[in-house]
Amino acid sequence: MKRMSVAIAALAGLAITAGAAEARDQIHIVGSSTVFPFTTAVAENFGKAGKFKTPVVESTGTGGGMKLFCAGVGENTPDVTGASRKIKDSEIEGCKKNGVTSITEVLIGYDGIAFANSKAGTSIDVTRKQLWQALAKQVPVNGKLADNPYKMWNEIDPSLPAQKIEVLGPPPTSGTRDAFVELVMDVGCEEFPEIEALDKDAKKAACQSIREDGAFIEAGENDNLIVQKLDANHNAFGVFGYSFLEENADKLQGGKIEGVAPTFDTIADKSYPVSREIYFYVKNAHVGVIPGIREFVAEYVSERAMGEEGYLADKGLITLTDDKYKDVASKAMALSPMN
C-alpha cells in the first residue's frame, strides 16, 4: 500500500511538470480528414530525414481543426492545420481575437468528389440539377415545393437508368458532405425558378436539405465502408473522395457529371465540376519556437512531395499546375502571411 501511494504521488508530480515545463519538440498538426492522408505522408518523410521528430498529425475535421488552431499562441496549441476549404473570415476574426494574427496559407492541390457505382452496374451521366432532384428533401412539383416524389432515376429524366434511387453518402459531420452540398446541391437547385423565388433562408434550406425517406443513406465517415457496400449492391451509388475511387478502380466506376468523368486531369483543370481546393495553414508565431516548422513546410511544398510526380500524387492528390505550383511554393517558403 505504501509503495502504491508513492507511485501515485510520483505520477501526479509528473503530470504537473508535464503540463507546465517540458518544451514541445514535435510539430503538432490538426485538421481535415481529407488532408490527413497527405499531411501524414509528408510528416513521415519529414521524420525519416532524421533531423527532427516525426510530427503528430491528428484528424479533427476542418472546423474542429480551425477551432484548436485559433485557440491561441503557445505550446498547447497546434502549429499547423489542414482544411478542405478556404479559411472563413469568421475564423480569421476568431484567430485574431486569440492572438493568432499571422497565418500562412498554402494551397496543396485539389480533391474531387466522386459519384460512383459498381462496375457491374450501369454507368451514369447526370447533371447537378438531376442530382439535386434525386436527393433534395423537397423539389418543385407543378410549380410548388413538395416532398420528393422521385423513386426511380428515369422518372427524373428518361436518359437516366431505370433503377431505384439509392445513394450512399457521408453524414453531415463530414467535410465531404459539406463540399457535396456546396458544389452539387447549391448549384443544382439554382436552375429552378421556384427556388429562386424563395427568400434567402428558405432557399438555403430548400437547396441544402437532403431527403430522409431512405433514398439517401448516411453510410458513416468511413469511405471504405461505402466502397464495400457499393461492391455488394450494384444498384446503389456512392458519394466519396476521389482517392478512394482511384484506389478501387477495379471495382468502381465514376459517374460522369455534366458529361465529365472524374479523372486526374479533369479535376486538375477544373472541368470536372465537383472538385475543391485543399489547404494547410501555418501559425507563424510558432516558427522558430517549435523546431522544424520551416523545414516541414519546405518538405510539404518540395518538388518530390507536391510536384507533379511527387509522392503526394501517388497518395491521390490532384496536383497544381506548374505555374501555380511555383507561385505557391515560393510564397510558402517565405512564410508570407495572408493579408
Q: Which residues bind another protein (CB under 8 A)?
A: 1, 4-5, 7-8, 11, 14-15, 18-20, 22, 26, 28, 33, 36-37, 39-41, 43-44, 47, 50, 53-54, 56-59, 76, 119, 221-224, 241, 243-244, 246-250, 309, 311, 315-316
76 or 330: CB nearest another protein: 76
Minimum CB distance to another protein smaller for 213 or for 303: 303
The rounded distance, in Å, linking the Cα atoms of 122 and 255 is 10
Nearer to another protein, 58 or 218 (CB): 58
Give the nearest distance from C-beta 239 to another protein in angstroms.
Answer: 15
In contact, 115 and 170? CB cutoff 8 Å: no
What is the DSSP code string of 18-43?
A: HHHT----S-EEEE-TTTHHHHHHHH
Contact (CB, 8 A) for 310 and 301? no
Question: Distance (Å, rounded) from C-alpha 224 to C-alpha 247?
Answer: 10
Q: What is the largest CA-CA distance in the chain?
A: 81
From the number of C-beta atoms within 10 Å of its C-beta (0-12, 13-18, 19+), residue 319 rates as buried
Distance of closest approach, residue 311 Cβ to another protein, in angstroms: 7
Q: C-beta of 273: minimal distance to another protein in Å?
A: 22
> To the nearest whole angstrom, how small is the minimum distance from the Cβ of residue 28 to another protein?
7
Nearest to 50 by CA among 290, 310, 295: 295
Amino acid at 77: T
Report in angstroms how near the CB of residue 40 gets to another protein at its nearest.
4
